[in-house]
DNA sequence: GGATTACGCTACGCGTAGGTAGCGTTTGTA
DNA sequence: TACAAACGCTACCTACGCGTAGCGTAATCC
């Protein structure tokens, strides 16, 4: 029963597409009334807010139900259990960052960081990131979600490095993982771990140092 | 009553010293039997294990009591409440790292990291660090404990930088906080956040890049 | 050696959170 | 229009964790 109900949200979209393709519905599911997308969106949005406000540990279904106006029983019709909703909400937070192309490593890094910094400096995002990181240490499934989230967000840096290698700014045999850590690390530690501010001048200085390390 | 009992552990040591100085005991506390240091140590040790195994969120007094063999009521005689024990346990984890002095920035960093890396790579320490980091986002008091813990552990890097400045390897006007982030960041991200291994060759390469960035 | 008190043990009260069940109402589909 | 199912609501059960209280026992100080 619970397994059925958490399948329905996928079906909502799936049946639409199947309908267009004239694929017959699975026998037995008459689909008198599909799960409402509105309820799903409201719950999902509230879930993200709750994570932001109370962290992963303080993430409760009662809080989501209260904040969203969606009944707890309805939430259980859309998601299997607490973790299902939690992972779903976290997965939806990942908004891809744009990849700049200014023609120089320093310019690209600066442009990228100008977009990323305000976002990861935000207290809400900071709480979410640290919460997910800590929870991912215990939960392998969440660790996967977290890893994907990080990789997806930091993908532009890989592209920036490849571009720099193409221009000859950076040695072609430079280990990408190493370079990624060298670029992300200082900002992550300063902003997320130490919660220190980072003004424009310091940002420039930091990028100068990183570029100095990476260029041939 | 609760306030009295959590004062006693300090008194245990305090009264000893006061006794040597012939300071009269405060009237009213007869101290027929002091709180046992053994129970305190067992509980503290178990608390650290529980943090390591279940994280900050999974840190419960029942677990500590069960694992240590010290009764919960006894724990409450030694500590005021859950957080008091939690902070106490976390505070005790900080073991100062030695400060190397090899004569070069690269040598010092390498020597320091060879000590630090196995420790922060350890799954137990990793869970503890991420747990404390996440919990510190919500709890200002824990944030203070966390900050002290980090500063104390990373203090040798500041010394290493000062030595390098003295030798002229590093520009004297280089911002220390910036340099700290540049040094700690890559390792923290690679080992703690991404949970990637770091072999000796990569460690050397990483240090080379960092030194290249910092030296004049 | 006697008074005092920490000790471990057991039980309890209280609040919170996950998850379930049943109800009357509403809404989309056929 | 009729049916089926999602909806919100309320109540409930269970488990867990914090913190307290009282007990008999054992250790320690005077």
User: Greater confidence, A36 or B82?
Assistant: B82
| Nucleotide nearest to B72 in CA–C1' terms | C8
Residue labelled with tokens 């998601």: A79
B215 forms beta bridges with: B170
pLDDT digit string, tens, across residues B33-57? 888 899 999 999 999 999 989 888 8
- Report the protein residue whose CA lies nearest the C1' of nucleotide D8: A71
CB contact under 8 A, B194 and A150: yes
- Helix, strand, or coil here: A215? strand
Considering only CB atoms, which chain A residues are within 8 Å of B59? none
- pLDDT over 90 at B85, yes or no: yes
Interface of B with A (CB under 8 A): 54-58, 126-127, 130-131, 133-138, 143, 147, 150, 175, 177-178, 181-182, 184-190, 193-196, 202, 205-206, 209-210, 212-214
Q: Among B24-38, B100-114, B128-142, B163-177, where is mean pLDDT lowest?
A: B24-38
- Report the protein residue whose CA lies nearest the C1' of nucleotide C8: B71
| Encoded tokens for B179 | 């340099």
A183: closest chain B residue by CA: B186
Q: What is the pLDDT of residue A30?
A: 55
| Encoded tokens for B205 | 């390469």
In tens digits, what is the pLDDT along chain A, a chain of 216 residues? 333 333 333 333 333 333 333 333 333 445 678 988 999 999 999 999 999 888 888 999 999 999 999 999 999 999 999 999 999 999 888 788 999 999 999 999 999 999 999 999 988 889 889 988 998 887 888 888 888 888 888 999 999 999 999 999 999 999 999 999 999 999 999 999 999 999 999 999 999 999 999 998
- Helix, strand, or coil here: A195? coil
User: Greater confidence, B68 or A11?
Assistant: B68
Q: What is the pLDDT of residue A5?
A: 36
**Residues A182, B203: Cα–Cα separation, whole Å:** 12
**Residues A209, B44: Cα–Cα separation, whole Å:** 43
Q: What is the pLDDT of residue A19?
A: 33
- Report the protein residue whose CA lies nearest the C1' of nucleotide C9: B71
Mean of pLDDT values over B99-122: 95
């Amino acid at each position: 029963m619970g397994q059925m109900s958490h399948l329905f949200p996928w079906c909502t979209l799936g049946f639409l597409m199947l309908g267009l393709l004239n694929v017959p519905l699975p026998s037995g599911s008459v689909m008198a009334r599909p799960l409402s997308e509105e309820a799903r969106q409201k719950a999902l949005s509230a879930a993200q807010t709750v994570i932001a406000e109370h962290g992963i540990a303080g993430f409760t279904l009662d809080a989501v139900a209260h904040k969203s106006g969606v009944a707890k029983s309805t939430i259980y019709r859309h998601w299997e259990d607490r973790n299902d909703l939690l992972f779903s909400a976290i997965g939806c937070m990942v908004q891809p960052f744009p990849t700049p192309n200014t023609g120089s490593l320093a310019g690209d890094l600066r442009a990228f960081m100008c977009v990323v910094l305000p976002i990861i400096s935000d207290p809400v995002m900071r709480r979410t990131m640290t919460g997910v990181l800590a929870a991912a240490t215990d939960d392998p499934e969440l660790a996967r979600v977290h890893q994907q989230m990080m990789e997806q967000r930091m993908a532009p840096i890989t592209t920036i490095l490849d571009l720099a290698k193409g221009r000859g700014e950076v040695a072609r045999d430079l280990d990408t993982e190493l370079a990624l850590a060298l670029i992300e690390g200082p900002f992550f530690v300063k902003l997320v771990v130490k919660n220190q501010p980072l003004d424009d001048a310091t940002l420039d200085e930091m990028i100068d140092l990183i570029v100095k390390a990476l260029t041939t």
